[in-house]
């Protein structure tokens, strides 16, 4: 499979979390065959996932949502709070609103269904590792009508500048900071500043919430 543009050259360190041994080991077996991905650990429930994330500091956590002891959503919340630099991809059999939106609110940067194709999962891991949102159009449509801004209880948002709206539109298109910089002919550090200001103004946690906001407000389209 050809490499996608702007993929990181170092190994992506992945922690796989699923209470079903067959699913967990199957995912690990799949990822072991991918040269640029290194599986550094596994966990059978959310509590072990939290402990493993603390100990291993992976780049990406692939997180099942329905598990004993501590469920995936609470594990996402705790890991994201303690380690915001760790990117989390929710991998589940469920595409229901009561699972998707809470996972996003908790800090998941992507949401992927277990019945999708393996190539799609590998691509999703690469995107999430770069801090890019991963949501299928079907899942996006499900959560848009439930998605409200802001998420943290604030009641007012600041208006975005025209440049910030332009950057937000490209974030919603799934572009990385480097790709946005090249498209707009500006420095990558300037893009990072714009993204940070967008999140602050809209009281959002991450790029996936920003993408959903852009779609809901008509700044971007599916």
Retrieve residue 26's tokens: 């199957």
Cα gap 186→131, rounded to integer Å: 19
Token pair, residue 149, equals 């801004």
pTM as predicted: 0.75
Give the residue-averaged pLDDT of 149-165.
73
164-199 burial, b at 16+ Cβ within 10 Å, e below that, comes to: bbbbbbbbbeebbbebbbeebeeeeeebeebbebbb
- How far is the C-alpha of 130 from the C-alpha of 73, rounded, in Å? 21
Higher pLDDT, 125 or 150: 125
Average pLDDT, the chain: 85
3-state helix, strand, coil in the chain (%, to 5): 50, 15, 40
Report pLDDT for 3: 43
79 pLDDT more than 90: yes
pLDDT in tens, 33-78: 998 999 999 999 999 999 999 999 999 999 999 888 899 999 999 9
What is the average pLDDT across 193-220?
A: 86
Going from the N-terminus, what domains does the chain have, and what CATH number goes with each? 12-144 (3.40.50.2300), 162-216 (1.10.10.10)
């Amino acid at each position: 499979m050809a490499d996608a543009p702007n993929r990181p050259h170092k190994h992506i360190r992945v922690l796989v979390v699923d209470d079903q041994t067959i699913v967990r080991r199957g995912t690990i077996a799949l990822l072991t065959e991918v040269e640029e991905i290194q599986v550094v650990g596994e966990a059978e429930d959310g509590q072990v996932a939290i402990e493993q994330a603390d100990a291993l500091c992976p780049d990406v956590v692939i997180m099942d949502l329905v598990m004993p002891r501590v469920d995936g959503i609470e594990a996402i919340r705790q890991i994201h709070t303690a380690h915001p630099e760790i990117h989390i991809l929710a991998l589940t059999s469920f595409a229901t609103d009561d699972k998707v939106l809470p996972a996003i609110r908790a800090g998941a940067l992507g949401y992927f269904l277990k019945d999708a194709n393996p190539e799609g999962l590998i691509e999703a891991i690469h995107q999430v590792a770069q801090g890019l949102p991963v949501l299928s159009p079907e899942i996006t449509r499900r959560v848009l009508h439930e998605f409200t801004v802001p998420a943290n209880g604030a009641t007012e948002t600041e208006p975005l500048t025209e440049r910030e709206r332009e950057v937000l539109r490209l974030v919603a298109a799934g572009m990385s900071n480097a790709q946005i910089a090249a498209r707009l002919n500006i420095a990558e550090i300037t893009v990072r500043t714009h993204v940070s200001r967008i999140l602050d103004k809209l009281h959002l946690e991450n790029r996936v919430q920003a993408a959903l906001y852009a779609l809901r407000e008509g700044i971007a389209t599916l």
